[in-house]
Amino acid sequence: MRLLIACPNIKGFFTILQLCLAAGALFVFLVSSHAARADDGLPLMFDARERLPRPDLSSLVRLRILTTIDFPPFNFADQTGRLAGFNVDLAREICAELKIEAKCQIQALPFEELEKTLESGAGEAVMAGVAVTPDRRRRFSFSRPYLGVPARFARNLAAKIDGDTAAALAGKPVGVVEGTAHQVMLKAFFPKVTIIPFDSHEMMLEALKAGKVDAVFSDGLRLPFWVAGEMSAKCCALFDGPYLSEKFLGEALTVMFRKNDPLLVAAFDHALGALSRNGRLQDIYLRYFPNGLY
């Protein structure tokens, strides 16, 4: 299963408010404009005061980081055929931070081959948006999360919505793609909206543009691009949020390793923490998400 496509699997590590919705069992994590952020809106996933030790990698022969070319803007092949994307650039920065550039190789494979290639020892790490599931937790190790993609509302600017929070959508028609985690999450956390299901993301956005619904609820990866792009014809804007929920959106982007490789897990955690503190993670984020996810 791939992260962030149709039914995303992202972990909310940016906790601002915990709302107990059912006998202490369910929490939603809301990230507001007051969340801990880097200068241009990237929530900070590492404590700036934390200093993780850098493991000794002198015995490491090579580090083969496996990815794919079918998950833009995270990993893809550019017009020249060169590997590019958020994950690819981050992988290169991790290697530079660990001072092992000469030992690093980034290799693209079909998504369905990543796990068996890693398990066979033909690779040391995977950075490709692989969803963290209980089964994979049993079979692999994972770094700390480095980026989560939230759920977002987008509204039609011509709609009469009195207020600037989701509470103002009570009784309003809100579109969502049927059968997705976002539909279940919308029903659970915003029960007063009038849910209008659509068969596809494209149909939902066309309905929003045409004013057939006042707002839509979807993933924060695609909505900002659409709102800012030509296809929206400046009809709409992001509205309130963002929202992250481990219950419905799962765990954030992580690096996957073989189960018994604590040295590399510690090394990547060290590098990710350092890149978060020195701003390089923020730079890569803005390179691929200039309109922001948050």
pLDDT tens digit string along 39-94? 445 666 677 677 788 899 999 999 999 999 988 899 999 999 999 999 999 999 99
Q: Which ranges in the chain are annotated with CATH 3.40.190.10? A: 36-148+252-288, 151-242
Predicted local distance difference test score (pLDDT) of residue 66: 98
Nearest in space to 124 (alpha carbons), one of 145, 97, 95, 147:
95
The CATH number corresponding to 151-242 among 2.30.40.10, 3.60.20.10, 3.90.1150.60, 3.40.190.10 equals 3.40.190.10
Of residues 95 and 244, more confidently modeled: 95
Of residues 32 and 184, more confidently modeled: 184
Helical H runs in 121-259? 134-139, 181-189, 201-209, 222-228, 246-249
Tell which CATH architecture fits domain 36-148+252-288. Answer: 3-Layer(aba) Sandwich (3.40)
Entry pTM: 0.73
Predicted local distance difference test score (pLDDT) of residue 44: 61
Which letter does DSSP use for residue 59 in this model?
T
